[in-house]
Amino acid sequence: MDVELRQLRCLLAVVEEGTFTDAAIDLQISQAAVSRNIAALEQGLGVRLVERTTRSVGLTPSGERVLAKARRILALLGDLEREARAGTGKVRIGYAWSALGEHTTEFQRRWATTFPTTELQLIRSNSPTAGLADGTTDFAILRRLPEAAAVEHVRIGAEKRYCAMSSDDPLAPRRSVTLAQIAERPVAMDLRTGSTTLELWPEHGRPPEVIAIHDVDDWLTVIGSGAARGITGGSTAHQYRRRGVVYRPVRDAPPVPVYAAWSKKDPPRNREEVVGLMAGLYE
């Protein structure tokens, strides 16, 4: 048996991203390379792991067991990397859609003053734990809590919700909109990492259709085409401006909570100071 770490990373990415195409984007390799690595892993283990349909990817029972082991192996590798990096002065903070929005630049400035010998890396990782599960980040900025029990979190702030729509949408001339008005058309949602779910609306007032997307670029493309509207936090509205897409406040929607998170098993050093630095931005 000859199993390689890149094969395990491909399996994890396919499961977390939902498709081979999105896994390839996340890993920054070709889709063909992802397929080859999965095939090689299946051949090396002598079992079928992945079942593909035209719209989704699922795991076989063997795949579920292998995935659990793969997560442990990659987590151990992350531990090894952190041990080796101890004292080198680098902290990686992951985020799925947007970092701290309008506060990001000020956070970077305060970081440089508070931790002058520690390099800050902000890493976009569109996974439920923003890189914590596979050890590629030390902290995560989350707006949707993952199901992973191995992640600890604390709320650091909240953001106003905005509706994203095409510039020629009938609602675009309004200064603000309501949930009921938004629900008159399909709504695009990232069902894995996005902050919007159908629970925002009452059961009998929900949008006619949900268009599932996989990341913020996909979301903006669908909305810009006029095929759907979207709801997001103020950080996305600030960080992602695109021609043909406008944002309007949603006046009757609850705010989006913002959390700082880290691995429960291997909590990073200085977490109280880091969390305090983030929380101070929302005061």
pLDDT in tens, 15-74: 888 888 888 888 888 989 999 999 999 988 989 999 877 667 888 999 899 988 888 888
CATH 3.40.190.10 in the chain, residue ranges:
88-157+257-282, 161-254
Per-residue confidence (pLDDT) for residue 102, from 0 to 100: 92
Kindly report which listed range (205-209, 252-256, 263-267) carries the lowest average pLDDT score: 263-267
Which CATH code is given to the segment(s) 5-83?
Answer: 1.10.10.10
Q: State the sign of the Cα–Cα–Cα–Cα dihedral 121, 126, 128, 133.
A: negative
Tell which residue, 90, 104, 95, has the closest CA to residue 125. Answer: 95
Domain 161-254 has CATH 3.40.190.10: yes
Q: Residues 98-108: pLDDT tens digits?
A: 999 999 999 99
Q: What CATH architecture does domain 88-157+257-282 belong to?
A: 3-Layer(aba) Sandwich (3.40)
Whether the model clears a pTM of 0.85, i.e. scores above it, the answer is: no
Tell which residue, 188, 174, 266, has the closest CA to residue 221. Answer: 188
CATH 1.10.10.10 in the chain, residue ranges:
5-83
